[in-house]
A = this chain, B = another copy of it.
Amino acid sequence: MNGYSVFCVSDHTGVTVESVAKSVLAQFPKLEFSLITLPFVDTAEKARSAAARIAATPHPLVFSTLTDPQLRAVIGEAGVPPFDIFDLVAPAVAAALGQPATPSGGRTHGMAPDYEARIDAVNFALNLDDGLNPERLDQADLILVGVSRVGKTPTALYLALQYGLRAANYPLTPDDLERGDLPACLTAHLPRLRGLTLSAERLAALRQARYPDSRYASLAQCRSELDAAETFFKRHAVPVVDTTRMSVEEIAAHLRHS
């Protein structure tokens, strides 16, 4: 194979540089490449070892987010000038602000001030997963509501980990659906409710994977549950996100701005 080896070099976790590299390389649809992340390159020694690895690899491309210009210079010694996000973006910002960048200025390593809040939010999401501890729903920032397998739990956990939001999730059971309305513990918190829905076909496929050929997974059952849930959401003007073609990241970003 004659594809490129794309190195993502970071003095931190590498999540941002990976994401930028993937997005930019998607603009070169014919390019074949494999991604190699080198995180925590935060000393000259680690940078030299990264540079040696890059130099020893055929067809390398290098993306980096290295705060320290000296480490960038070491990486550049591999003979492949890195696409460094700071190098490429900071000068434009400095020009607009009319003040120079301080390269190793305020790098936020380790635990940012909102860190404890995010971990608390994860514990909250776990404690109020799947209808648990409904007496604590008044402490939630958001309450995700929907039928079984609509994606409530991963979404609540992502909202917690990424944004520090305390998201509870509450399943609409066949009992709720037969009774004909949202349970009272939910209607007490209407402004914080967010409905999740998806296509009956997709829901049936998800349930089928879990309980093959069950009534629970049948298209008719899925359709009737989703219809009932939608009626409740409309009645109480609960904002609804249709998750059919969405990833957890997308659902979470929509909910955060809904």
How many A residues are at the interface, by size bracket?
Answer: 35 or more
Residue interface bits A102-142, CB-to-B below 8 A is 1, else 0? 11011110111001001100110010010000000000000
Q: How far is the CA of A31 from the CA of B102 in the complex (A)?
A: 11
Q: What's the number of copies of this chain in the assembled complex?
A: 2
Q: How far is the CA of A96 from the CA of B123 in the complex (A)?
A: 46
Residues on B with C-beta less than 8 A from A25 are 93
Residues on B with C-beta less than 8 A from A250 are 12-13, 40, 110
Residues on B with C-beta less than 8 A from A245 are 110-111
Known interface pairs A96-B61, A122-B153; A26-B158 also in contact (CB < 8 Å): no
Q: How far is the CA of A115 from the CA of B102 in the complex (A)?
A: 38
A148 proximal to B (CB < 8 A):
no
Instruction: Assess whether B93 is in contact with A20, with CB atoms less than 8 Å apart.
Output: no
CB distance from A55 to the nearest CB of B (A): 16
Chain B residue with Cβ nearest A162: B15
Instruction: Assess whether B89 is in contact with A20, with CB atoms less than 8 Å apart.
Output: yes
Instruction: Assess whether B13 is in contact with A102, with CB atoms less than 8 Å apart.
Output: no
CB distance from A87 to the nearest CB of B (A): 9
A58 proximal to B (CB < 8 A):
no
Q: How far is the CA of A19 from the CA of B18 in the complex (A)?
A: 12
Known interface pairs A88-B89, A93-B83; A108-B28 also in contact (CB < 8 Å): no
A76 proximal to B (CB < 8 A):
no
Instruction: Assess whether B22 is in contact with A19, with CB atoms less than 8 Å apart.
Output: no
Instruction: Assess whether B12 is in contact with A107, with CB atoms less than 8 Å apart.
Output: no
Residues on B with C-beta less than 8 A from A246 are 110-111
Instruction: Assess whether A27 is in contact with B126, with CB atoms less than 8 Å apart.
Output: no
Question: What residues make up the interface of A, taking CB atoms closer than 8 Å to B?
Answer: 12-16, 19-20, 22-31, 37, 39-40, 61, 65, 67, 81, 83, 85-86, 88-90, 92-94, 96-97, 99, 101-103, 105-108, 110-112, 115, 118-119, 122-123, 126, 129, 151, 153-154, 157-158, 161-162, 245-250, 252-254, 257
